[in-house]
Chain A
Amino acid sequence: MKSLKELRELRETLQKEISARNSAGKPKIIIGMGTCGIAAGAREILHTVLEEIERRKLDVVVTQTGCIGMCEKEPLLDVQLPGKERITYGNLKKDDVKRIIVEHVINGNIVTDLAIARFEEGRD
Chain B
Amino acid sequence: MEETLFLKKDMYDQIENYDFSGLKKALSMEREDIARQVKESGLKGRGGAGFPTGLKWELALKEKSDKKYVICNGDEGEPGTFKDRFLLEYNPVKVLEGIMIAAYAIGADEGYCYIRGEYHRPVRIFKRIIEKAYDKGILGKNIFGSGFSFDLHLVKGAGAYVCGDETSLLNSIEGKRGSSRIKPPYPVSKGLFGKPTVVNNVETLTAAAEIITNGPEVYSRMGTEGSRGTKLVCLSGDVQKPGVYEIEFGRMTLKEIITEFGGGIRENRKLKFVVPGGISTAVLTADEIDIPYTYEDLEKAGTSLGSGAIIVVAEGHNLVSLLNNVSRFFMDETCGTCFPCREGNRQVHHILKSNSERFSERDVRIISDLGRTIHLAARCGLGQTSLNFINSVFDKFGNELMERKEITGG
Question: Are A121 and B325 in contact, with the CB atoms below 8 A?
Answer: no
The interface residues of chain B lying within 8 Å CB-to-CB of A67 are: 79-80
- Assuming the contacts A120-B120, A123-B120, asked whether A72 and B243 have C-beta atoms less than 8 A apart, the reply is yes
- Per-residue contact bits, chain A 51-72, to B (CB 8 Å; 1 contact, 0 not): 0000000000000001111111
- B176, CB-defined interface residue at 8 Å: no
Which one of A3-11, A13-21, A39-47 contacts B?
Answer: A39-47
Chain A interface category by residue count: 20 to 34
**Which chain A residues (7-40) contact chain B, with CB distance < 8 Å?**
33-36, 38-40
Whether, in the assembled complex, B275 has its beta carbon less than 8 Å from a beta carbon of chain A, the answer is yes
Partner of B311 from A35, A43, A68, A69 at Cβ < 8 Å: A35
> B314: which A residues are within 8 A, CB to CB?
39
Known A-B contacts A35-B311, A36-B311; the reply to A71 vs B236 at CB < 8 A is yes
B360 at the interface (CB under 8 A from A): no
- B window 207-255: CB within 8 A of A: 234-238, 242-244
In Å, the complex CA distance between A39 and B80 comes to: 10
A73: chain B residues at CB < 8 Å are: 242
Q: Is B76 an interface residue (CB 8 A)?
A: yes
Q: How far is the CB of B309 from chain A (nearest CB, A)?
A: 7
Residues of B within 8 A of A69 (CB): 76, 81-82, 85, 116, 118-119
Residues of B within 8 A of A124 (CB): 120, 123-124, 127
Which single member of B79, B266, B318 contacts A35 (CB below 8 Å)? B79
**How distant is the Cα of A42 from the Cα of B332 in the complex, in angstroms?**
20
- Closest Cβ of chain B: how far from A50's Cβ, in Å? 15
**Separation in Å of the B120 CB from the closest CB of chain A?**
4
Q: Determine the chain A residues whose CB is within 8 A of the CB of B116 once the complex forms.
A: 69
Q: For residue B234, which residues in chain A have a CB less than 8 angstroms away from its CB? A: 71-72
Q: Is the interface of B mostly helix, strand, loop or mixed?
A: mixed
Chain B nearest CB from A3 CB (Å) reads 34
Residue of A38, A41, A121 near B322 (CB, 8 A) is A38
CA distance A58 to B10 in the complex (A): 50
- Whether B312 lies near A39 (C-beta < 8 A) is yes
With A35-B275, A35-B322, A69-B76 as contacts: A40 and B238 at CB distance below 8 Å:
yes
Question: Bound complex: CA of A34 vs CA of B278, how far in Å?
Answer: 11
Query: What is the interface residue range for chain B against chain A?
Result: 35 or more
Contact mask A106-121 → B, CB, 8 Å, 1/0?
0000000000010111
Per DSSP, chain A at the interface is loop
Which of B270-329 touch A at CB < 8 Å? 275, 279, 309, 311-314, 317-318, 321-322, 325-326, 329
Measured between C-beta atoms, what is the minimum distance from B88 to chain A in Å?
Answer: 10
Q: Are the CB atoms of A38 and B321 closer together than 8 Å?
A: yes
Q: Does B396 contact A (CB under 8 A)?
A: no
Residues of A within 8 A of B313 (CB): 39
Q: How far is the CB of B314 from chain A (nearest CB, A)?
A: 8
Q: Give the complex CA separation of A117 and B121 in angstroms.
A: 9
A43 contacts B321, CB within 8 Å? yes
Among B80, B124, B244, contact of A120 (Cβ-Cβ < 8 Å) = B124
Contacts of B120 on A, CB cut-off 8 Å?
Answer: 119-121, 123-124
Contact present for B236 and A74 (CB under 8 Å): yes
Min C-beta distance of B374 to chain A, whole Å: 19
CB contacts (< 8 Å) of B326 on chain A: these are 35
Q: Which residues of A sit under 8 angstroms from B325, Cβ to Cβ?
A: 33-35, 38
Between A and B, 10 residue pairs with Cβ closer than 8 Å are A39-B237, A66-B79, A69-B81, A70-B82, A70-B85, A72-B234, A72-B242, A73-B242, A120-B121, A123-B124
